[in-house]
Structure 1
Amino acid sequence: MILTRNISVESYLQQQLQKLNYEVLVSVSLWENWEHSRKSDHFMESFQWIFLSETISDAETRDFAEQCQQDYLVRIVGEEPSEETVSEWRRWRIFDWLLATTSLERLREKLLHKSLIQQVAATQGPNSATFTLSQSKKAFPLYFSDIHFTKLEKDIIRRLITSKSLSMKRDELCRGWRSKNQNSKLSQLSSSVTKIRKKVFEAYGIEEAVHTIWGEGYQLNAYFYQCLLKGELHNQSQRLTI
């Protein structure tokens, strides 16, 4: 669903979503109803995501977001926001943001990333201590020692973990590597990512541990990341606090 003050403004995003085979409702009336009543319609809860148009002010976005009980709100923006702004949105329960002119590839990867995070939340539950894929696959937490990553592969994963939105451009991922030939480094990066995917799948059954963001770089699979939080990264955190 896209909530907006002007349907025609949202035609581009609506078309992009429909290309990805999503059913899209663009509504002015639902937004106006909320403005008048200051109560969200239960009908909205049936949608996987609610996109808040850039035609809606930040103050209104905050008031609307603070009423929501689920992390399914996405802010549409005209330009990339600062980290401070994104942090503030998250306090309002804004799940993520999206450029109004985003490419089809970037939109696809963004929505896939959100779906994975929602799957993690559903699988984890409020009292769950571990993650499991199925009875036939290994139980989580996940440790590097179980997979035997190379030093380079560990470096790639750790760079993605510490980056914004768990994603990074290809040039940034291989920055500082010994080779001076950029094409050689990019080729080595691609090969290493392929090996990471294969090793994680063979050891834990997780497909696409690292996603390709076409034209931009790579992004860590949210499920893979959560499993690392339970294992490898949890151990690191304990060592740092001792």
Structure 2
Amino acid sequence: MQENLQNFNYEVFVSKTMLDMLLYSDDPWDSSFYQLIILSESLSNRELKRIVPKLKEKNAVIFRKYVCEPINKEKGVLEGLGIDQWIPREIGTDVLRELISECTTSMNEAVKVKKATETLAELTMEFTKNQKKCFSKLYDAEGAIVSREELCESIWNDEPTRSNLAQLSVLTKSLRQKLMRKGFSSTIIETVWGKGYHLNKEFYTVYHTPYQ
């Protein structure tokens, strides 16, 4: 299967460490960088029930491999988790290609619809107070670069210090991750070294009205 995926020009990354992070960590790795996640047939249903909800929170497309065709009862038990496809371990190249195309296209369309119908107030509902201040400053710049000093002054109402400059890096990273979980790309907030940050113009294709 790995060879088939590589034949489609997919970069394949196999990791048990990431699996352990999903199972045992409250802050697992960010799955939004991956177009597709294939869960091994060696995972138990109990492990799936712990892993899949964490992945679906980040809009992951999930395939579950099996050795023998699972009975309908087993599929039914796991249906509510949101597994997109059940695939045999020995799957034909053509079939795998079409399944990936179908599922990733459907997911992308669903994300677009969600973003188009979600208001800015709903989008920022889960942001912390400082994340909202940072986001507001970036949004109002309409894609222009905002310096780190300007952001510090806007967020903490004070001249930038070494401490709040360090906090700003953490703040923008967490804000970027929250936006990615909403379906935006990893470059939605871009860092321009030596200058500051700016909101990718991708954002303004969905949200046109000023942020309040």
> TM-score when scaled to structure 1?
0.43
Does 1 or 2 have the higher relative contact order (CA < 8 Å, sep 6+)? 2
